[in-house]
Amino acid sequence: MSEPPRSPEDREIIERVLAGEVNAFEDLLRRYEAYVMAIVHRYVPSAAVEEVAQEVFIQTFKSLPTFIGQHPFKNWLAQISVRACHTYWRRMYRRREVLASTLDEDVRSWLERALSGRSEAEFEAEASRREAEELIHWALGRLSPTNRMVVTMVHLEGRTVRETAKLLGLSAANVKVRAHRARKELRKHIQELLDGEGAKR
Amino acid sequence: MRNDSERISRVERLLAVILRTRPAPEPEGRWRDDVLRKIRCLALEKEWADSFWPDRRIWRLAMTMAVAALIVTVLALKIGFAPEQEIMSLLSEYPAEFSQPQSFGL
């Protein structure tokens, strides 16, 4: 009985692409498209995921000659993905497309309802609703692009300072300071929201 | 006050859960085709640029030679080298009849 065909290693595909076989890049794309989209989706709105994921693969293709291969390709791709999300927010803030929007009354009443849930399962049931997405944008939209990324990665995702620093290309000390300040700022905005001021602004 | 802090922490937890559980969009065939088309365009552009411009090493050599020539010229001007003066000073070391044709009695 013959052995099933072995799928080529990332390194082999990269070497083929670098040798001029551009179509081999499709293998990398198919292998990692869901992975990249899952990363990007954590940091940018659903409507922008495809656009940012596309930029990630284009940037990856351009940077392939600089891929040293000391670490797995997947880690390198994660780094490019996180930085593309950071760049997306910097661009949005520069164009002033991030609006300090007010929250609708229905989002505020949804929040009250969600907070009355006790268990993680009850939280999760509420998390997939439209209001959840609005709340995320409202809360994080009040932070600077870098602080937004840092607070999401460190406080909401629970990544380590070192890992966050590496993914964003910042120093660990910088991330530590930002994480502290940004969380304080985020909590202040949540406090305002709970006091009923968030909707008035 | 403590109650406030607790409620804020619950909102933070809710935000974390929202981020973790939002379903990511599935990549579509059209999206993939679009990415591949752009990448092929990039590869073609690169190929064209590589074939149009000479090898980088040639550019580097040409640039080095141009810079070297410029440096030599600037240095020469700086030390006051003037070719005519140099030739005249060499001629003045010889007797006048050597430097003047009519002195040969022609």
- What is the per-residue pLDDT for A133? 76
Banded model confidence at residue A9, pLDDT cuts 50, 70, 90? confident
CA distance B83 to B3: 93
CB atoms within 10 A of CB A108: 18
Question: Tokens at residue A184, please?
Answer: 């304080």
CA distance B63 to B57: 10
CA distance A46 to A42: 9
Which of A82, A137, A187 is the mutation pick for testing B, counting most B CBs within 10 A? Answer: A187
CA distance A127 to B16: 9
Residues of A in contact with B12 (CB under 8 A): 155-156, 186-187, 190
**pLDDT higher than threshold 80 for residue B94:** no
A56 contact partners, CB below 8 Å, separation of at least 6: A36, A40, A77, A80, A81, A84
Banded model confidence at residue A136, pLDDT cuts 50, 70, 90? confident
The pTM assigned to this predicted structure is 0.72
Residues of B with CB under 8 A from a CB of A: 4, 7-8, 10-27, 31-32, 34-36, 38-40, 42-43, 47
Residue A122, chain B, CB below 8 Å: the answer is no
Question: Tokens at residue B93, please?
Answer: 């070391």
Q: How confident is the prediction for chain B on average, in pLDDT?
A: 79
- Nearest-Cα distance to chain A for B37, in Å, is 10
Nearest in space to A138 (alpha carbons), one of A49, A184, A201, A81: A201
Structural contact between residues A10 and A72, judged by C-beta atoms closer than 8 angstroms: yes
- Nearest-Cα distance to chain A for B74, in Å, is 39
CA distance A88 to B50: 31
Instruction: Say which of A20, A37, A155 has its CB closest to residue B24.
Output: A37
CA distance A4 to A70: 29
CA distance B18 to A119: 14
Could A156 and B19 be called an inter-chain contact, meaning their C-beta atoms sit closer than 8 Å? yes
Banded model confidence at residue B48, pLDDT cuts 50, 70, 90? confident
What pLDDT digit, counting tens, does each position of A98-129 carry? 555 667 777 777 777 777 766 666 666 666 67
Could B36 and A26 be called an inter-chain contact, meaning their C-beta atoms sit closer than 8 Å? yes
Banded model confidence at residue A168, pLDDT cuts 50, 70, 90? very high
Residue A125, chain B, CB below 8 Å: the answer is no
Banded model confidence at residue B35, pLDDT cuts 50, 70, 90? very high
State the sign of the Cα–Cα–Cα–Cα dihedral B3, B6, B12, B14.
negative
How do the residues of chain B divide into helix, strand and coil, expressed in percent and rounded to 5? Answer: 80, 0, 20
| Amino acid identity, position A123 | F
Token pair 């659903």 in the structure block, residue: A46
What pLDDT digit, counting tens, does each position of A12-54 carry? 899 999 888 889 999 999 999 999 999 999 899 888 999 999 9
Nearest CA in chain A to B39: A58
- What is the per-residue pLDDT for A127? 64
- What is the per-residue pLDDT for B96? 67
- What is the per-residue pLDDT for A200? 43
Instruction: Say which of A20, A54, A132 has its CB closest to residue B34.
Output: A54
Predicted complex ipTM exceeds 0.90: no
